[in-house]
Amino acid sequence: MSKIEFTSQQKQVMSSALQHYIENELDIEFGQFDADFLFDFIISHFGPAFYNKGLFDAQSIIQRKIIDIADEIYEIEQDNPF
């Protein structure tokens, strides 16, 4: 499985959002270094579960579309005595 990676800019934005959340909602002083460290922990431990859920959801959509296409092909099939 490939590693879940973000650009440094994406990581910075998400870490800052995490930092602000912890400071504002939990009233805990939380520095940028701490936010980066927690973000890395979340990605390494929980990221694969979110990633796999996204793949599962995408696969479900594709399967539904394939069934729709198969139904449409069946509808245009012509009677053939042979």
Tens-digit pLDDT string for the chain (82 aa): 678 899 999 999 999 999 999 999 999 999 999 999 999 999 999 999 999 999 999 999 999 999 999 999 999 999 888 8
Give the pLDDT score at 81: 87
Instruction: Indicate the pTM of the whole model.
Output: 0.73
The residues near 47 (Cβ < 8 Å, ≥ 6 apart) are: 4
Give the pLDDT score at 1: 64
**Residue whose pair of structure tokens reads 């701490």 in the numeric block:** 34
Burial (CB < 10 A; 0-12, 13-18, 19+), residue 22, is: middle
User: What does each C-alpha distance from 70 to 12, 29, 66, 67, 82 come to in angstroms?
Assistant: 45, 57, 6, 5, 22
The token pair at 58 is 């995408």
The token pair at 51 is 């990633």
